[in-house]
Structure 1
Amino acid sequence: MRFLFVHQNFPGQFLHILRHLHAQGGHEIVFISEANNGALDGVRRAVYRPERRPSEETHPSLREFEGAILRAEAVARTAETLKNGLGYTPDIIIGHHGWGELLNIVDVYPGTPVLGYFEFFYHPDRFDVGFDPEFPVPPAMPARVRLKNAVNLQALNLNGFGQTPTRFQLGTYPEWARPKIALLEEGVNLTECSPDAQSARRVLDVNGVRIGPRDKLITYVSRGLEPYRGFHTFMRALPRILDARPDAQVILVGGDKVSYGAPPSGGCWREVMLKELEGRLDLSRVHFVGKIQYDIYRAMLRRSDAHVYLTYPFVASWSLREAMATGCAIVGSRTEPVEEFIDDRETGLLVPFLSPDGIADGVLEMLEDRNLARRLRRNARRKAEATLGLDDYLANYDALIERIVG
């Protein structure tokens, strides 16, 4: 078959399916994206470049949509080159609807089915909006939030096919839209992300931070250190945790760039929280390591004594799935995206997102009750094996593609 993938950041959500299709053999795979250094065997890249950025003169609430239209036009131009210049017509187009890139490609390939990734449908009065009372909703926010669905609504009217990875994300979409979207639960490589009972006996080195066998390691992972992923509440839990456990070391993985919410008025959230907690943290035991290599990340999860995962009612991170597969002792927020994966006191501990004391209680219990932690680790891995297997995910992906293409 001939496949055409589209995502502004190659390979996006499509790494596993791309490797799988290449391993099957006999497929032609082309990927349209913006320029980056990514490369995969068997995948040809085609780069698109928007003509310009959204105009400063455009209404602020419409700049995101204008950016989506500019991307849609650029992707369509690249697709026309593939079609008219190289004679490439795919059997199916697979991409992400979030950035508008698929909106015009249907005009280039009107007879080709499109399978679009639907990630989240925004609401002005629930889920992430207004969830955290520390950040009140400005009067103009509801109107802006509704406009964030402009690409979603355009995509839902393309008469294509959709996929989304969790029941929570599917439930954010209006009832009339859900029949258009298949639930395709994402998997994780259970071999790459696997427990290692001997890891606690070795010294772990994470970007120069050395964790010895006698240390208790608390881990936190987020692409960006920001409130959407509970960075602020976790930081506020640390003084009590560190006071109670002089043997505890904390590693926080993630960058300073905001991925989902709003940046602070000055600096980054890491700087804001360090200033707020000045004099209350033993900074010799709190380590901000930035972004780390995947092998080091997996070794860190294997060594972790308590892995903290917090999120607003929003999209769950891949790191949660990987932590389960690794058999981490997970302390997660009692929010819908996490509750879909973690059963309280069965596969992890659920704690209130907005309560630093509640988070500290969960972490300290996990560190102090070794039998509980051992049982939760074992159950998390078993649930991952039962529900997050990569082979099952890819088999379901194959079946969905076959049903679409016919």
Structure 2
Amino acid sequence: MQARHKYLFIHQNFPGQFRHLAPALAALGHEVVGLGMCAPAVATPGVRYVRHAVDARARPVAPAPWQDLQGKVLRGESAAAALHALKDQGFAPDVVVAHPGWGEALFVKDVFPDAKLLIYAEYYYQADGGDAFFDPEFSRPDAAAVQRLRLRNTHLLHAMSAADGALSPTLFQRDRHPDWFRRRISVIHDGIDTARFRPDARAWVQLRSAGLTLRAGDEVVVFVARHLEPYRGYHVFMRALPELLERRPNAQVVIVGGDGVSYGARPPAGQRWKQIFRDEVGDRIDAGRVHFVGKVPHAVLTQLMQVAAVYTYLTYPFVLSWSLMEAMSCGCLIVASDTAPVREMIEHGRNGLLVDFFDHAALAATVADTLARRDSLRGLRAAARQTVVERYDLATRCLPALLDFVRP
């Protein structure tokens, strides 16, 4: 009979990347506790969830270069207080799996020194080869910016020094880390439910505000980002629209994403990136064929993937979006940016098409040509799904590997 162990998962937005792993361990009979700051966005059956909150009392404001780190330390202190409370209740985990990105992993080993600490090594900041200073329109390297970037790794370095092991979902993310730590990182993706995200020729989506029903086979171009911002190439996509819509007079464009900022530069005071770039091209596009739908439920997003004639994905060299791999699993015809994290998933001409991130004219031409030839490019769709099924399937590949990784 399998021994019963105690697991603690720490993530500011629990369950985050642990949404499959934590309940799977609970289903196997292990005691599983989650610690986070927000109400869980998805159910985690069998997992006891504990929330913590940073003390709201006023504190001296740190000098500007240290303000980000101050926030991380405050969250680390708050998490440590919650861990002490769990300890006082008699809970002593065999394994702690923590996302260190917001500081919660800083003091784990001080509370539970005998626990095996595994961290989710999502991203390590460097001045070259990644997101920093990638897009000169919004960021340029100067001495102060480079110094701030180095300081952004401080809390991560503390977590790395205390960790007994680490996990990255992609090779790109692993390779952002220093060589001395990279060797300790296992590369296992969170996993894609390929039974859920699959092609469906009968799929349809209704855009009520436009009085449209879109179906598989229609000339639908889909762009998806958590928020419509430069990090995910929203500005490039919008600049491609005038030419694309001119060349494809029957195309309908659906843009999914919120109106805030997840990463990178903030827009000028009182403005939104969404509206800034919408206004930039507004007099050169047919607004009746461009549909901003905001954030949508995951089920609706899946249907959009299933009806898409072309699915576009653009990103800085940064953490890859789950949505790209879900779109691949749905058998989408992908046109994406030729950036390092994307190249790990997509080989140009085999399971998708790649374009230079900054070349909006090339993006427009590629999407237009792909729409014109989409019937002859069905092999790319099948190959995209096959890539995810063979390498990233949740049930047969990733979850078994994750369960093995977190053994005490």
Q: TM-score, normalised by structure 1?
A: 0.94
| Aligned partners of 1:186 and 1:393 also within 8 Å | yes
- For the Cα contact (< 8 Å) 2:94–2:115, is it kept in 1? yes
Q: For residue 142 of structure 1, what is the amino acid of its counterpart?
A: V
Q: Give CA deviations for 1:1-40 in whole Å, capped at 9, x if unaligned.
A: 211111111211111112322332x111111111315442
Amino acid at match of 1:211: T
Q: Decide whether the 8 Å contact of 1:219 with 1:307 is kept in 2.
A: yes
For 2:244, the equivalent position in structure 1 comes to 241
Query: Structure 1 residue 350 and structure 2 residue 354: aligned?
Result: yes
Deviations 1:196-228 (A, max 9, x none): 1233xxx42256553344741100111111111
* Counterpart pick for 1:395 among 397, 400, 403: 400
Cα distance, 1:179 vs. partner? 1.4
1:55 deviates by: 5.4
CA contact (8 A) 2:13 2:40 kept: no
Distance 1:207 1:256, change over 3 A: farther
Structure 1 vs Structure 2 CA RMSD: 1.6
Distance in 1 separating the partners of 2:161 and 2:202:
53
Code of the aligned partner of 1:305: A
Q: CA–CA distance in 1 between the matches of 2:95 and 2:243?
A: 54
Code of the aligned partner of 2:219:
K
User: Using the alignment, how far apart are the partners of 2:263 and 2:14 within structure 1?
Assistant: 19
Any stretches of 5+ residues in structure 1 without a counterpart?
Answer: none
The answer as to whether partners of 2:121 and 2:185 remain within 8 angstroms in 1 is: yes
Deviation at 1:250, TM superposition (A): 0.8
Residue in 2 aligned with 1:211?
A: 213
TM-score (norm 2): 0.94
Establish whether residue 97 from structure 1 lines up as the match of residue 96 from structure 2. no
1:229 aligned residue: 232
CA distance in 2, matches of 1:383, 1:93: 31
Q: Is 2:302 aligned against 1:298?
A: yes
Matches within 5 A, 1:304-319: 304-319=308-323
Measure the CA separation in 1 of the matches of 2:208 and 2:26. Answer: 33
SS at match of 1:176: helix
Deviation at 1:59, TM superposition (A): 1.7
Equivalent-residue separation in structure 2 for 1:53 and 1:156 (angstroms):
30
- TM-superposed CA distance for 1:135, in Å, is 2.2
* Residues 1:159 and 1:298: Cα distance change in structure 2 (over 3 Å): closer
Stretch moving more, 88-97 or 35-44: 35-44
Q: Is residue 130 from structure 1 mapped to residue 133 from structure 2 by the alignment?
A: yes
Going from structure 1 to structure 2, the CA distance change for 1:245 and 1:78 (only over 3 Å counts) comes to same
Matching residue's letter, 2:403: D
| Aligned mates of 1:226, 1:142 — CA distance in 2 | 22
Which runs of no fewer than 5 residues in structure 2 stay unpaired? none
Q: Equivalent residue of 1:250, what SS?
A: strand
> Paired residues, what number?
398
Residue in structure 2 matched with residue 176 of structure 1 by the alignment: 180
Counterpart residue type for residue 206 of structure 2: D
Q: 1:393 to 1:176 in 2, by over 3 A?
A: same
Matches within 5 A, 1:242-281: 242-266=245-269, 267-281=271-285
Q: Quick one: which of 149, 157, 170 aligns to 2:153?
A: 149
For 1:141 and 1:54, locate their aligned partners in 2 and report how far apart those are by CA, in whole Å: 27
SS of residue in 2 equivalent to 1:284:
helix
CA contact (8 A) 2:75 2:104 kept: yes
Cα offset, 1:371, TM superposition = 3.4
User: How far apart in 2 are the matches of 1:264 and 1:218?
Assistant: 26
